[in-house]
Chain A
Amino acid sequence: MSRLRSPKRKRSPKRKAARFLQYLALVGYLAFLSFPLLWMLSTSFKTPREVVELHPSLIPRDPTLDNYTTAFTQQHLARAAWNSLQVSVGAAVLTVVIALPAAYALARVRSKVNTVATAWILLSQLFPFILLVIPLFIILKGAGLTNSLFGLVLVYVTWSLPFALWMLQGFVRGIPRELEEAAAMDGASKFQTLVRIVAPLLAPGVVAVTLFAFISSWNEFFFALVLLKRPELATLPLELAKFVGIEGIARLGPLAAGSLMATIPSLIFFAFLQRRLTSGGLAGAVKG
């Protein structure tokens, strides 16, 4: 008995040390990931005077919500948020409206377009945006669509479309064809089948793709920077980037507050996806 047990005892301190090191590393990661966030959170609650103090602390002395109201009332952030909302909702809805019938058709009819769309998604990663944005700028300028939120919506839609098509097709394939055939046998028209049978089953996929298109537009900066020059049209990332350098230290509080608020939609999206992303749901996607 004792002979059997002794090697186990010998290993246990070694194992404990390993566990200790693992936790140490985990805490290190936690610190690296969270401190910048905590710092911004803390700055957003600091009074203007405390922000400029030489030895700042992580926990605000007299926490205040002033920065949040300032961000909204004095910084044109509300206007920028409204612009961003219009653009992102417009882009998301338009993307799905265009992509959904196409994805359905592509998934049900064997076609090379599918391969081409996937190839385009991969290939388009290779090209820096500068190659795309100059001709786009010229085209949109010719059409009077620079300095126009609608022009920006068009750009975002084309940029989200290939990926949306690809995602939605996967969802359509998940719906057994037999279901539709059964409905057709029962005398339902093509349109009825789509609305009554396909649409409800497709709803989760549509939500995911809508959110994806919304967030990519909400976060986008480069195209907005090039295409929108009139200050009253600025989207949220543009407006926030504008008051980084110029306004100096006194504006750090409202800047932090505005930035945090601008992150909320994306955070909700990722909370929604979190489980899928980390529970191995992606393993299949990666391995193809």
Chain B
Amino acid sequence: MTTLNEELPLARKKRLDNKYAYFLVLPALAPVLILSVVPLLNGIYLGFTDARAGLNQETNFTGLENYTELLSNDLFWSSFKIGLIWAFSVTILQFLAALGLALLLNLNLRLRWLTRTLALVPWAMPPVIVGIMWQLVYHPDAGLVNEALYRVGLGDLSTNWLGDFSTALPAVIVVGVWAGMPQTTVVLLAGLQGVPAELNEAASVDGAGTWRRFWSITLPQLRPVIVAITSLDFIWNFNSFGLVYVLTTGGPGGKTMLPMLFAYEEAFKYGHFGTAAAMGNAMVLIIVVLLFFYLRRRMREVNA
């Protein structure tokens, strides 16, 4: 319908519009490029150098030296081990707790609104404040946990939860679960609401019980959501910093020294920028490898 005469100016106008668009987009791209993308690439590069804090420091490319050094450092190994224990436990417990809560919230129970509201509070709290709050809860003398144990006659079990070598990591993991549960719950709840009701009804008519329906319908339907949220949770947990920093600063005796805390100390306590960046690179590598295997397995299950 359009004649050639009409088409030409239109095309030119479109090009003008595009120019105009880039003019509008540039202010948003420039800061992200200058203060996120470039520093990040630079950070990855620093992991292969001997960069140090301070003025007039020369930075030399040292290849894999940082990594061989890290591999012979006991603290590095222990912080990775602790980081993996922390990330796996928190992610798994968080997922199980959130799945239970999401299933409950999906039923028509009384008190649902209260639970729903309360379940969001940990999400709203700054991680630093979650840490402070649990400091109060775990406090050896004035804390809730020890007092509760005393009241039910288990006072002998009371201890300095965050200060004791054997209880510090589990205590911190509980806080991680508390803090991360809401986000996972919300995502799983959204997933549950996306499961077609007809499927459940049909299965019900065919005589499938609640348990059976959960295993054969709900879980398979939720699988994509579960894979997505557990992957993200794992990354977030493995990279987390503020919560544990406030709770223990990595103590006692390095028992809760997550990789990020280790890297932070290397960089800003000892000034070893290169080593800290190398640590960051190693963390990315670990996550990518783990995600690769996890996602590949899930893919196979879907295809099978």
Q: Chain A interface (Cβ within 8 Å of chain B)?
A: 18, 22-23, 25-27, 29-30, 32-37, 39-40, 43, 51-56, 58, 98-99, 101-106, 108-109, 111, 113, 120, 124-136, 138-139, 154-155, 157-159, 161-162, 165, 218-219, 221-222, 225-226, 236-237, 240-241, 244-245, 249, 252, 255-256, 259, 262-263, 266-267, 269-270, 274, 277-278, 280-283, 285-287
Residues of A within 8 A of B273 (CB): 134, 138
- The listed residue (B105, B126, B193) touching A219 by CB distance below 8 A is B126
B11 within 8 A of A: no
Given A29-B119, A241-B128, A259-B132, A131-B111 contact (CB < 8 Å): no
Interface majority SS on A: helix, strand, loop or mixed?
A: helix
Q: B40 near A29 (CB under 8 angstroms)?
A: no
Residues of A within 8 A of B36 (CB): 120, 124, 132, 158-159, 162
What is the size category of the interface that chain B forms with chain A? Answer: 35 or more
Q: Chain B interface (Cβ within 8 Å of chain A)?
A: 17-18, 20-22, 24-29, 31-32, 34-40, 42-44, 46-47, 51, 97, 100-101, 104-105, 107, 109-112, 114-129, 131-137, 139, 141-144, 147, 150, 178, 181, 186-187, 189-191, 193-194, 210, 224-225, 228, 232, 235-236, 238-239, 241-242, 245-246, 249, 259-260, 263-264, 267-268, 273, 276-277, 279-281, 283-284, 287-288
Q: B277 near A130 (CB under 8 angstroms)?
A: yes
CA distance A99 to B131 in the complex (A): 33
Q: Tell me, rounded to whole Å, the shortest Cβ–Cβ distance linking B54 to chain A.
A: 10
Q: A40 near B186 (CB under 8 angstroms)?
A: no
CA distance A23 to B108 in the complex (A): 11
Q: A101 near B129 (CB under 8 angstroms)?
A: no
- The listed residue (A226, A266, A278) touching B268 by CB distance below 8 A is A226
Q: Tell me, rounded to whole Å, the shortest Cβ–Cβ distance linking A135 to chain B.
A: 4
CA distance A61 to B196 in the complex (A): 52
CA distance A103 to B32 in the complex (A): 14
CA distance A138 to B46 in the complex (A): 11
Q: A33 near B121 (CB under 8 angstroms)?
A: yes
B229 nearest in chain A by CB position? A286
Q: A102 near B120 (CB under 8 angstroms)?
A: no
Q: What are 28 sample pairs from A and B whose C-beta atoms fall under 8 A apart?
A: A22-B107, A29-B115, A29-B119, A39-B144, A56-B142, A98-B27, A101-B27, A102-B24, A113-B29, A126-B235, A126-B284, A128-B260, A131-B284, A135-B38, A135-B43, A135-B46, A158-B36, A162-B36, A219-B126, A221-B246, A225-B245, A226-B268, A237-B242, A252-B142, A266-B125, A269-B124, A270-B124, A278-B189
A116 nearest in chain B by CB position? B29
CA distance A200 to B42 in the complex (A): 42
Q: Tell me, rounded to whole Å, the shortest Cβ–Cβ distance linking B83 to chain A.
A: 10
Q: Tell me, rounded to whole Å, the shortest Cβ–Cβ distance linking B127 to chain A.
A: 6
Q: B187 near A34 (CB under 8 angstroms)?
A: no
Q: Tell me, rounded to whole Å, the shortest Cβ–Cβ distance linking B140 to chain A.
A: 9
Given contacts A241-B246, A286-B228, 11 further A-B contacts (CB under 8 A): A30-B115, A102-B26, A125-B232, A128-B280, A130-B279, A132-B40, A158-B34, A244-B131, A249-B139, A256-B132, A270-B120
Q: B139 near A277 (CB under 8 angstroms)?
A: no
Q: B235 near A245 (CB under 8 angstroms)?
A: no
Q: A102 near B25 (CB under 8 angstroms)?
A: yes
B147 nearest in chain A by CB position? A56
CA distance A266 to B259 in the complex (A): 28
A94 nearest in chain B by CB position? B31
Q: B142 near A51 (CB under 8 angstroms)?
A: yes
